[in-house]
Amino acid sequence: MSDFKTFSINIRGELIKISRPWIMGILNVTPDSFYADSRMFDDYAIASKAQQLIAEGADIIDIGGYSSRPGADEVTPEEEYSRLKRGIMAVKDISPNITISIDTFRAEVAEKCISIDKANIINDISGGDLDKNMFATVARLHVPYIIMHMRGTPATMQSLCDYPNGVTTEVICELATKIDYMRQLGICDIIVDPGFGFAKTIEQNYELFNNLDEFHMLNLPLLVGISRKSMIYNKLNTTPRNSLNGTTVLNTAALLHGAHILRVHDVAQAVEAVKIVGALTKSYEYNQK
């Protein structure tokens, strides 16, 4: 178990303290995300879902316009940006000041969402691997960047699960190398995501999770995203729809390992986990951000 460590990140010139775990609510403006109930594609559904996430206590809304599940349809940059823009506008109509992250690996899409539509954070599943311009774009925009560990692409990643030196050691080393390069570019606000489910077997996911404490050596905020993923529903021989209880168990364990952000489909249950763990550990007090 790790104590919760406070960090600060700069969001559009305002230094915001992560003094207790934040909840990132998932808003997928897609027709084909792996969890069917997270797919919102018409304007009414998008607005309704955004309103629900915010009402339940989301600190960040993470908007995705391109499903990363294996076998998902290709989406052009133009279509991805159009979807993300719809999501951003829906969220801002409900809560103009809430923090919005953009789930994209494309630098040009991220730049439009940040510069034109005033999103706040870039969440890149590829950790800069799928667009050579991403790190330079982040440095120029001066926005927080979530670096996730993945190998290959969503289509090839599950063939790239060989970690001769151990999954935890190699994931941390690969992330640390990129973080060092980003620091040289002047990128200051970095959040680390171990990338559960991306280029890892189920067994490797659990080994990595059990070693979450080791990620604190990077001295950066830690994001954990395991909501309704295959490491849960395959282990329980069930479906994403029936994986909420397993998700809550792992989210609670992540909090006990000192996680700073939980990326979730189900905000209300994650908020409850944060409150209970805070009361149990006395590491922080829950106050609405």
Say yes or no to pLDDT of 40 above 70: no
Say yes or no to pLDDT of 22 above 80: yes
Instruction: Please give the pLDDT value at position 38.
Output: 59
Instruction: Please give the pLDDT value at position 44.
Output: 84
As a whole number, mean pLDDT of residues 140-152 equals 97
As a whole number, mean pLDDT of residues 30-45 equals 70
As a whole number, mean pLDDT of residues 149-172 equals 93
DSSP characters over 87-102: HHHHHHHH-TTSEEEE
As a whole number, mean pLDDT of residues 162-174 equals 97
CA atoms of 190 and 183, how far apart (whole Å): 9
Instruction: Please give the pLDDT value at position 20.
Output: 97
CA atoms of 181 and 169, how far apart (whole Å): 19
Could you tell me whether strands 14-18 and 7-11 are parallel, antiparallel, or unpaired per DSSP bridges? antiparallel
> What fold characterizes domain 21-281?
TIM Barrel (3.20.20)
As a whole number, mean pLDDT of residues 98-114 equals 98
The full set of domain ranges for the chain reads: 21-281
Instruction: Please give the pLDDT value at position 150.
Output: 96
Instruction: Please give the pLDDT value at position 32.
Output: 62
Q: How confident is the model at residue 72 (pLDDT cuts 50, 70, 90)?
A: low
Q: What is the mean pLDDT of the chain?
A: 93
Residues forming a β-bridge with 156: none
Q: How confident is the model at residue 42 (pLDDT cuts 50, 70, 90)?
A: confident
Residues acting as catalytic residues: 229, 263
Q: How confident is the model at residue 1 (pLDDT cuts 50, 70, 90)?
A: confident
Instruction: Please give the pLDDT value at position 28.
Output: 92
Instruction: Please give the pLDDT value at position 112.
Output: 98
Say yes or no to pLDDT of 116 above 70: yes
CA atoms of 199 and 178, how far apart (whole Å): 17
Say yes or no to pLDDT of 69 above 70: no
- Work out the number of other CB atoms within 10 angstroms of the CB of residue 218: 15
Instruction: Please give the pLDDT value at position 54.
Output: 96
Instruction: Please give the pLDDT value at position 31.
Output: 77
Instruction: Please give the pLDDT value at position 70.
Output: 63
Burial of 262: CB neighbours in 10 Å, binned 0-12, 13-18, 19+:
buried
Can you give the C-alpha Rg of the chain in angstroms? 17
